[in-house]
């Protein structure tokens, strides 16, 4: 099918990202209420919108982290415009933008085959768990991460994310209706996490920690912020202690994605990743 003449794909303006997140909510992806500022800051030209005859009909994120890594997400065409070739054009433009980088994505399982056709390979699944009614007092050892702690958080994050993402984290750690907690041991940050308000309940992400006990303390502290509302976390299935934590907290699995990469699996210690940051930006 020939692409329509009046279809334009261009970088979104900041406001248009709110629209894309609204579409994500309609897909049932439960985005955070205040995600767009951080998403936009990660890469201001990295979120594309497809406009057909003046009407926004689809989007995709192709966020570049430095010159070696990128992440695809928010790949959506409005239901009434699907099956006309508009999605594939978004996808191709996104891939062109990230050319030369190792690219990650979290695909819905039904699309894994599609992405394999483009050379993406499965690294592992991320399992979304839901916890209910966690409102216990905050465990000892936790500290609120404020502006002054950004450098320590960035340094820790750099060990567990494939690239520097300071612009993103600067916003992510200061979102309204969120909390960022760290765990300090021997004067050193040994784990950190963020919880944020979403359409439905709250999501924890990232949850990075040196040990299962630190992860558990951070999780309880973060989940306590939700004051009994549902709390969601996306756990790499390959991290057995993280699955144990989910089981110990009585969490129920509600969704799964395929984490795939275009070139290679990044050299990060998945054993310290208890919750991924987002499924949209990695
Ligand atoms: C995925 C989606 C964006 C595709 O948009 P679209 O405009 O319908 O796609 P096109 O018309 O360009 O493509 C038509 C065909 O190519 C396939 N296709 C689309 N994107 C593809 C990709 N990146 N790689 C390979 N195949 C692809 C489609 O599956 C479709 O095949 P089918 O009719 O056998 O299912 C759209 O279906 C959608 O918004 N789905 C819901 C959200 C979602 O699941 N997004 C993907 C998350 S991983």
CA–CA dist 233, 251 (Å, integer): 9
Same domain, 132 and 244: yes
Q: Are 136 and 220 in contact (CB under 8 A)?
A: yes
Please report whether residue 153 resides in a domain: yes
Same domain, 152 and 260: yes
Same domain, 87 and 207: no
Q: Are 130 and 251 in contact (CB under 8 A)?
A: yes
How does strand 55-65 pair with strand 69-77? antiparallel
Task: Count CB atoms within 10 A of the CB of residue 200.
Answer: 13
Q: In the prediction, which pLDDT does 4 show?
A: 84
β-bridge mates for residue 98, sequence order: none
Give the closest residue (by CA) to ligand 1 atom 43: 76
pLDDT tier at 252 (50, 70, 90 boundaries)? very high
Q: Which atom of ligand 1 is nearest to the CA of 257?
A: 48
pLDDT in tens, 86-101: 999 999 999 999 999 9
Please report whether residue 122 resides in a domain: no
Same domain, 72 and 136: no
Place of tokens 């960035």: 154
Pocket test for ligand 1, best of 31, 71, 82 (most atoms within 8 A of CB): 82
Please report whether residue 116 resides in a domain: no
Helices 240-248 & 212-224, crossing angle to 10 degrees? 40
Is the beta carbon of 77 within 6 A of some atom in ligand 1? yes
How many domains does the chain divide into? Answer: 2
Q: In the prediction, which pLDDT does 249 show?
A: 93
Give the closest residue (by CA) to ligand 1 atom 8: 82
Is the beta carbon of 133 within 6 A of some atom in ligand 1? no
CA of 49 to the centre of ligand 1 (A): 15
Q: In the prediction, which pLDDT does 250 show?
A: 94
Residue 79: asked if its preceding bond is cis (omega within 30°), the reply is no
What are the φ/ψ torsions at residue 11 (nearest 5 degrees)?
Answer: -60, 140
Q: In the prediction, which pLDDT does 1 show?
A: 63
Q: In the prediction, which pLDDT does 201 show?
A: 97
Q: In the prediction, which pLDDT does 32 show?
A: 98
Q: In the prediction, which pLDDT does 94 show?
A: 98
What's the predicted TM-score (pTM) here? 0.95
Is the beta carbon of 171 within 6 A of some atom in ligand 1? no
Same domain, 137 and 259: yes
Q: In the prediction, which pLDDT does 9 show?
A: 98
What's the rounded mean pLDDT across residues 6-17? 97
Token pair listed for 262 = 């275009």
Is the beta carbon of 111 within 6 A of some atom in ligand 1? yes
Token pair listed for 42 = 């990660």
Q: Which atom of ligand 1 is nearest to the CA of 111?
A: 48
Is the beta carbon of 108 within 6 A of some atom in ligand 1? yes
17: CATH: 3.40.630.30
Task: Count CB atoms within 10 A of the CB of residue 213.
Answer: 15
Q: Which atom of ligand 1 is nearest to the CA of 81?
A: 7
Give the closest residue (by CA) to ligand 1 atom 7: 87
Is the beta carbon of 192 within 6 A of some atom in ligand 1? no
CA–CA dist 258, 5 (Å, integer): 34
Same domain, 144 and 244: yes
Same domain, 148 and 259: yes
Same domain, 208 and 246: yes
171: CATH: 3.40.630.90
pLDDT in tens, 128-176: 999 997 877 788 899 999 888 999 999 999 999 999 999 999 999 999 9
Domain containing 141 equals: 128-275
What's the rounded mean pLDDT across residues 224-234? 94
């Amino acid at each position: 099918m020939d692409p329509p003449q009046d279809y334009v794909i261009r970088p979104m303006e900041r406001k248009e990202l709110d629209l894309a997140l609204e579409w994500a909510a309609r897909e049932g992806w439960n985005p955070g209420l205040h995600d767009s500022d951080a998403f936009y800051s990660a890469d201001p030209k990295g979120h594309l919108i497809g406009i057909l005859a003046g009407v926004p009909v689809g989007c995709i994120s192709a966020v570049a982290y430095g010159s070696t890594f990128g992440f695809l997400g928010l790949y959506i065409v409005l239901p009434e415009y699907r099956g006309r070739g508009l999605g594939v054009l978004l996808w191709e433009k996104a891939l062109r933008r990230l050319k030369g980088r190792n690219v990650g994505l979290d695909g819905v399982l039904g699309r894994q085959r599609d992405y394999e056709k483009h050379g993406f390979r499965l690294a592992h699944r991320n399992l979304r768990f839901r916890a209910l009614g966690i409102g216990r007092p905050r465990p000892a050892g936790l500290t609120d991460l404020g502006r002054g702690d950004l450098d320590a958080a960035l340094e820790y994050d750099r060990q567990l994310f494939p690239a520097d993402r300071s612009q993103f984290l600067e916003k992510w750690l200061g979102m309204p209706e969120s909390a960022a907690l760290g765990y300090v041991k021997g004067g050193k940050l040994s784990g950190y996490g963020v919880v944020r308000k979403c359409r439905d309940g709250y999501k924890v992400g990232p949850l990075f920690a040196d040990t299962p006990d630190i992860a558990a303390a951070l999780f309880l502290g973060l989940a306590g912020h939700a004051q009994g509302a549902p709390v969601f976390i996306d756990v790499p299935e390959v991290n057995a202690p993280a699955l144990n934590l989910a089981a110990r907290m009585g969490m129920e699995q509600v969704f799964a994605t395929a984490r795939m990469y275009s070139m290679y699996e990044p050299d990060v210690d998945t054993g310290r990743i208890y919750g991924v940051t987002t499924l949209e930006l990695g």
